[in-house]
Amino acid sequence: MENKLYITQKDMERLEPVLDAALQKNSQQRDNIERLMDDLDRADIVDDMNIPDDVVTMNSEVTVIDLDSKQQMTFALVFPENADLDDKKISILAPVGSAVLGYRVGDIVEWRVPLYKRRLKIDRVIQHPEQLKAKKKK
């Protein structure tokens, strides 16, 4: 059974043109981008303020655990123009970025690298941009 995915309305609106443009110019990432588009097609689209706290959204900071190496990795999931590996900001177009969007804490995601499948468990969502906005409004 596939995990239920969630995406905010705002993220969906911003991602569609980014993904369309990436498909036009980036043939080497075609499989990755198409997989992300398939995930988005089956995701529940929710209002920004109603997204569950434990869902990975754009601009959230997330910790994942590689189930094979047991290594932990923390990064922010960002749009391509904000990607900066030195600052631990990973683009949604990177395989690990597209693999985690919309998944919840506890979910296990897989993606194919050249010789095998990598498996990551979403360990925690540290910072959620929608939560920050909601706190500011209170």
pLDDT higher than 60, residue 25: yes
Please, which pLDDT band fits residue 129 given cuts at 50, 70 and 90?
Answer: low
pLDDT higher than 60, residue 77: yes
Bigger pLDDT: 74 vs 48: 74
Report the pLDDT value the prediction gives residue 80, as an integer from 0 to 100.
92
pLDDT higher than 90, residue 64: yes
* Domain contains 80: yes
Report the pLDDT value the prediction gives residue 111, as an integer from 0 to 100.
75
Q: Specify the CATH number for the domain of residue 33.
A: 3.10.50.30
The arithmetic mean of pLDDT across residues 35-51, rounded, is: 89
Query: Token digits for 121?
Result: 């468990």
Please, which pLDDT band fits residue 138 given cuts at 50, 70 and 90?
Answer: very low
- C-alpha 40/C-alpha 106 separation (Å) is 19
* Domain contains 59: yes
* Domain contains 111: yes
Please, which pLDDT band fits residue 100 given cuts at 50, 70 and 90?
Answer: very high
Report the pLDDT value the prediction gives residue 90, as an integer from 0 to 100.
95
Which pTM does this prediction carry? 0.86
Helix/strand/coil for 123: strand
Report the pLDDT value the prediction gives residue 21, as an integer from 0 to 100.
87
The arithmetic mean of pLDDT across residues 5-17, rounded, is: 93
The answer for residues whose C-beta is within 8 angstroms of residue 110's C-beta and 6 or more apart is: 99, 117, 118, 119, 120
* Domain contains 70: yes
* Domain contains 1: no
Number of domains in the chain: 1
The DSSP result for 59-78, as a single string, is T-EEEEEETTT--EEEEEEE
* Host domain of residue 132: 6-137
